[in-house]
Structure 1
Amino acid sequence: MSNILILGAGRVGASVAEQLVQEHYHVTIVDEHAANLKGLQDRLDLRTLVGNAASPAVLEAAGARDADLLLAVTPSDEVNMVACKIAHELFNVPTRLGRVRNPDILARPELFDHGNFAIDHVITPAQIVTDYLVSLVETPEALQVLDFADGKAQMVVVRVEADAPMQGKTLSSLCQRLPNVDSRAVGIYRRNRYIRPDGDSVLEVGDEVFVLAAGKHMRKVIRELHGEERKIRRIMIAGGGNVGFRLAQSLQDDYQIKLIESNRERAAWLAEALPKTLVLAGDATDETLFDAEQIDRTDLYLALTSDDEDNIMSGLLAKQMGARKVIAIINRSRYVGLLQGSRIDVALSPAQATIGSLLARVRRGDIVSVHSLRRGAAEALEIIAHGKRATSRVVGRRIEELNLPAGLYIAALIRGDEVLMAHHDTMIEAEDHVIVFVDKKRGIREVEQLFAVKLGFL
């Protein structure tokens, strides 16, 4: 799969285009507004076209006949759906992904069948971001929580704190402290520099550790690396848009939720739709409102409006006034690295949170999931190994036989219900789900080649 056609040069479309160009895919991106395309054209090696994404003539001019995959992420659900249908009927594009946000449409999955709008995979960014945020609420010590094989294995990113049991100790001592728990640190980022961990690596305060373990054991591992935080009970959300509403809806049965919405008409609707949530009509940068609603007793403040500046300012204000933890959505991905780990504990780029579900469809091989890490600098992939020793570079071989390139790290295997941490003598079997960590984007092609099945395999 090498020719990718992207419809819509918004934040998601632009982020995916940038990522794919870095990996040497041939990318064409279409948007109705030339201004959205100019910046991409100036800094990336791709083709751009101004036009209506639902026009057969525009799609043909964009190269739909030769496209291996179409990604429709314009702001309009209807345009995305029609574009996928046209791509299927007129141009026989093999794989079509479309963004749909309208819950009325999402409630009718039959609309996406090949006989209707022919969307192979529906993308709902608001739900992806909501699920991401729920995982952070449920694991307050983590900066990121990644599930593999429906949660049988997890990778979490945690920051080493001064009072953590493992602070100042070597990684090998984790096995001594947790003798019945098999875990694997696959990466350490120290002052934004990647360190490949081994048993002699000494953990320092501020290190971001990427650690993998069976889901049932992860809490124990987190306590050793980070320490245990007080359970979250009181949550305040700023912004009652798609993400804020979905998050409150997901959490209101188990947490005390307050939701601030600046639009009074929207606030009234939210109050009816969320009976267990206290909805406040007001400005999330209003110090008086924070004081009246006891922000100093809030365990978690989430800034989820559509305005980056408001999210940054309200997040900083909430932290200053006593909120224990702050998470903010930041759409400008370059701001994320500047803000995370300061007074804003977790800065989240929606485009980066969404991109993994798209990349899983672009990558070659039987890839179950792709997780973008460190703002796209690294990836964790779940890949199913197929074939046999004669047709595969990995099946029937021990890890030490693979001669893995630098930056590519096989972390674990999931075999049935069993999670096996990878050691040098671990044998990969057919149909194993293999979890691979790649610390640099240039390693992705090597992963695809490693797991490719030779011709002749049936």
Structure 2
Amino acid sequence: MGCGRVGASMASQLDRMGHSVAIIDRNSDAFRRLPADFNGRKVKGIGFDRDALEQAGIDEAYAFAAVSNGDNSNIIAARVARELFGVEHVVARIYDPTRADVYERLGIPTVATVRQTAEHMMRHVLPGGTAREFMDPSGAAGLVQPDISPAWVGTTVGSLEERLEVRVAWISRGSGVVIPQAGTIIQEHDRLHLAATTQQLPAMQRALSRPPAQEV
């Protein structure tokens, strides 16, 4: 739902991957954002309206993404898709981070655009920070990408995990991804994605900002 920049991009990518896609928008001009070779269904209507959803094939949908520019519309559409039509995989884009937390606790996955964008921007403005890529709805744990001192280059993943009591989920290396083993060596320019509890984050970032020998 929503054929803005995000919705059009998602629909186009899914279409190119061979998935059956339908996109809903109340403004037919929005469909101009889609490529000329888009094979999916275009439905003009309100994204939480039952008729529009049925025209889009909601009864057969594997997943539903609500990415319009309105928080209320997105959350209503997500709830209708999940609760009325039984779509298992549902996500809503939410601008208000407080409301996003509430809906996460209700079991509706959300992407809090403002909060996540702000965190990534702050990380570039203030080096030595930690970008939170995913947080458990309870807030107890998450997946983060911290800044790491160059002094950690040459250290094994197993040594880092043992020192900090965290888990390295994967490493972004160049344009690729490495699923690490205990003996994987951390290289220059690696970006580590760590799973840790919220309580661990301050001590973890302090430790990673200094050489391993100074970590206490």
Q: TM (normalized to structure 2)?
A: 0.69
Q: Look up the match of 1:266.
A: 30
Query: Using the alignment, how far apart are the partners of 2:67 and 2:209 within structure 1?
Result: 39
Return the index of the structure with the highest Cα Rg.
1
Check if 1:291 corresponds to 2:49. Answer: no
Q: Look up the match of 1:249.
A: 12
Letter in 1 for 2:166: Y
Q: 1:349/1:382 Cα in 2 relative to 1: closer, same or farther (>3 Å)?
A: same
Unaligned runs of 5+ in 1: 1-237
Q: CA deviation at 1:296?
A: 1.3
Paired residues for 1:217-228 under 5 Å: none
Instruction: Indicate the structure with greater helix content.
Output: 2
Q: CA deviation at 1:308?
A: 0.9
Q: 1:383/1:255 Cα in 2 relative to 1: closer, same or farther (>3 Å)?
A: same
Check if 1:452 corresponds to 2:210. Answer: yes
Q: 1:443/1:273 Cα in 2 relative to 1: closer, same or farther (>3 Å)?
A: same
Q: Deviations over 1:57-92 (max 9, x none)?
A: xxxxxxxxxxxxxxxxxxxxxxxxxxxxxxxxxxxx
Letter in 2 for 1:447: Q
Q: Look up the match of 1:386.
A: 150
Check if 1:371 corresponds to 2:130. Answer: no
CA-atom RMSD, angstroms? 4.0
- Does the CA-based 8 Å contact 2:48-2:76 persist in structure 1? yes
Paired residues for 1:224-235 under 5 Å: none
Q: CA deviation at 1:398?
A: 4.4
Partner-residue secondary structure (3-state), 1:244: helix
Indicate the percent of aligned positions where both proteins have the same amino acid: 18
Paired residues for 1:131-146 under 5 Å: none
Q: Deviations over 1:1-44 (max 9, x none)?
A: xxxxxxxxxxxxxxxxxxxxxxxxxxxxxxxxxxxxxxxxxxxx
Unaligned runs of 5+ in 2: none
Partner-residue secondary structure (3-state), 2:52: helix
Paired residues for 1:24-103 under 5 Å: none
Q: 1:395/1:266 Cα in 2 relative to 1: closer, same or farther (>3 Å)?
A: closer
Partner-residue secondary structure (3-state), 1:340: helix
Q: CA deviation at 1:313?
A: 1.2
Q: CA deviation at 1:431?
A: 4.4
Letter in 2 for 1:243: V
Q: Look up the match of 1:302.
A: 65
Q: Look up the match of 1:312.
A: 75
Q: Deviations over 1:363-399 (max 9, x none)?
A: 328x8x76352478745225555348xxx9x959945
Q: Look up the match of 1:5.
A: none
- Does the CA-based 8 Å contact 1:398-1:427 persist in structure 2? no
- Of 70, 92, 104 in structure 2, the residue corresponding to residue 328 of structure 1 is 92
Query: Using the alignment, how far apart are the partners of 1:410 and 1:241 within structure 2?
Result: 37
- Does the CA-based 8 Å contact 1:259-1:278 persist in structure 2? yes
Q: Look up the match of 1:411.
A: 168
- Does the CA-based 8 Å contact 2:65-2:78 persist in structure 1? yes
Query: Using the alignment, how far apart are the partners of 1:339 and 1:240 within structure 2?
Result: 23
Q: Deviations over 1:260-291 (max 9, x none)?
A: 11113324x24664632221111112112223
Letter in 2 for 1:444: P
- Does the CA-based 8 Å contact 1:387-1:430 persist in structure 2? no
Q: Look up the match of 1:176.
A: none
Letter in 2 for 1:371: E
- Does the CA-based 8 Å contact 2:58-2:85 persist in structure 1? yes
Higher relative contact order (CA 8 A, sep 6+): 2
Q: Deviations over 1:326-362 (max 9, x none)?
A: 2111212122232236463x22211244345335423
